[in-house]
Amino acid sequence: MTKLPRLSGKEVIKALSKEGFLVARQKGSHVIMKKETLEGVITTVVPNHKEIDKGTLLEIIRQCKLKRDDFVKLL
């Protein structure tokens, strides 16, 4: 498994955009992103902070139904 780098909210949003996620809206410093799939809509919340905690990043990756290695390739 690839080690996750420390990422900012902007970097995570940019990576998820490459995967097809779109910014639906923003409330404060939290950006809500959505992606339409055949199974339904996948929604995740990305905190737009300078640095995202490792646990939060892992949860975002899990909610997006991605593997850790696939997410790192998007960077």
Q: Where are the domains of the chain?
A: 9-66
Q: What are the pLDDT digits (tens) for 36-48? A: 999 999 999 999 9
pTM score, whole prediction: 0.90
Indicate the Cα dihedral angle 41, 20, 31, 55, nearest 10°: 90
Give the single-character DSSP code of 5: P
From the number of C-beta atoms within 10 Å of its C-beta (0-12, 13-18, 19+), residue 61 rates as buried
Q: What is the pLDDT of residue 3?
A: 83
Q: Is the pLDDT of residue 61 over 90?
A: yes
The CATH T-level fold of domain 9-66 is Metal Transport, Frataxin; Chain A (3.30.920)
Tokens 């975002």 label which residue?
Answer: 60
